[in-house]
Amino acid sequence: MWFCRGMFYAYIIQSIKTGKYYVGSGKDLRARLKRHNGGYTKSLRNKGPFKLRYVEKYLTKAEAYRREKQIKRYKGGDAFKKLILV
């Protein structure tokens, strides 16, 4: 399985309802997806359900957060499209 203890993740989720993409990072990806899908994330409330479209693993929180910010800068561009088409 691709979930590993002690790892941090940068991820892209897609709203099934709206088709829009959202980028995030965190340690417990399963719990994070549950929070997004349960409407507990204020910025994404009423926009779910979500499906995981892309994920990368990192050893540190700082690396995952840095990658999250980098992916957010890609949004809408060719680099972003390449990630979600994988």
In this prediction, residue 68 carries a pLDDT of 95
Would the pLDDT of 8 be above 60? yes
User: What is the domain partition of the chain in residue ranges?
Assistant: 8-84
CB distance 11 to 23 below 8 Å: yes
Would the pLDDT of 60 be above 90? yes
pLDDT digits (tens, 9 = 90+) for 19-57: 999 999 999 888 888 888 877 777 777 777 999 999 999
Query: Mean pLDDT of all residues in the chain?
Result: 86
CB distance 13 to 22 below 8 Å: yes
Residue 4 Cα distances to 18, 27, 40, 43, 58, angstroms: 30, 9, 24, 27, 10
Q: 8-84, which class in CATH?
A: alpha beta
